[in-house]
């Protein structure tokens, strides 16, 4: 499968790249035509910092941010995003303030939860949700339910890669979209065109990577 990977360069910053592989992949809620690998971007401090600079742009001059909730291993990017939003030379809205970076836990029912010592950082605070990738928006919707439950106020959604432009009326600010990945498609499992064409699954994927399916 490794031979299928190709590099995708961000149209916003040529330093920022991700890798994609063509195939038939299953997530927890969908079937998709490409596996998007952003592991290097999530783990490299220099690339994550460049990504954060781009992701900060929509919020710098007009959005007060108190908390960044990070999902799918985006803690490094979120920390740099907070730093960008607090830069006194750029972020006039957040200058002199403080931004908390937190990650929810997944409860036994599949819902996201926060421990009691974190809950007070969410209630009545302005929240930016940071995700690694979004295809159907399932993870984002679950996160939005969590934010609403704990009384947070969503002011933005950021993603490294997103196949959806908006969700629940909220724009998804992303570095990459499906337009950057040729012929990217996603389906519900029951309506998957690749399944209808009897194309076998290549791997099961999640935010941590992929598991090949042996045929």
Q: What's the CATH number of domain 2-212, 3.30.200.20, 1.10.3720.10, 3.40.50.720, 3.40.50.2020? A: 3.40.50.2020
- 100, 90, 22: which is closest to 68 by C-alpha? 100
pLDDT truncated to tens, each residue of the chain (215 aa)?
Answer: 567 899 999 888 899 999 999 999 999 889 999 999 999 999 999 999 999 999 999 998 888 999 999 999 999 999 999 999 988 666 567 766 899 999 999 876 778 999 999 999 999 999 999 999 998 888 899 999 999 999 999 999 999 999 999 998 899 999 999 999 989 999 999 999 999 999 999 999 988 888 998 76
**SS3 at position 55:** helix
Q: Exposure string (b/e) for 37-49, b if CB count within 10 Å is 16 or more?
A: bbeebbeeeebbb
């Amino acid at each position: 499968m490794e031979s299928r990977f190709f590099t995708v360069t961000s149209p916003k910053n040529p330093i920022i790249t991700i890798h994609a592989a063509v195939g038939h992949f299953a997530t927890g809620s969908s079937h998709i035509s490409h596996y998007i690998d952003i592991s290097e971007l999530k783990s490299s401090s220099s690339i994550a910092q460049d990504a954060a600079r781009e992701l900060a742009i929509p919020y710098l001059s007009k959005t007060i941010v108190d908390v960044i909730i990070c999902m799918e291993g985006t803690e490094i990017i979120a920390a740099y995003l907070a730093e960008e939003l607090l830069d006194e030379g750029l972020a006039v809205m957040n200058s002199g303030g403080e931004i908390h970076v937190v990650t929810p836990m997944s409860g036994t029912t599949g819902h996201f939860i926060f421990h009691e010592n974190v809950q007070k950082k969410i209630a009545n605070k302005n929240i930016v949700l940071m995700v690694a990738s979004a295809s159907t928006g399932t993870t984002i919707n679950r996160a939005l339910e969590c934010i609403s439950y704990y009384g947070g106020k969503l002011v933005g959604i950021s993603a490294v890669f997103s196949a959806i432009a908006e969700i629940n009326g909220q724009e998804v600010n992303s570095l990459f979209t499906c337009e950057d990945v040729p012929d990217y498609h996603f389906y519900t499992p029951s309506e998957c065109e690749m399944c209808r064409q009897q194309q076998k699954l290549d791997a099961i994927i999640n935010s941590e990577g992929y598991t090949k399916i042996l045929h």
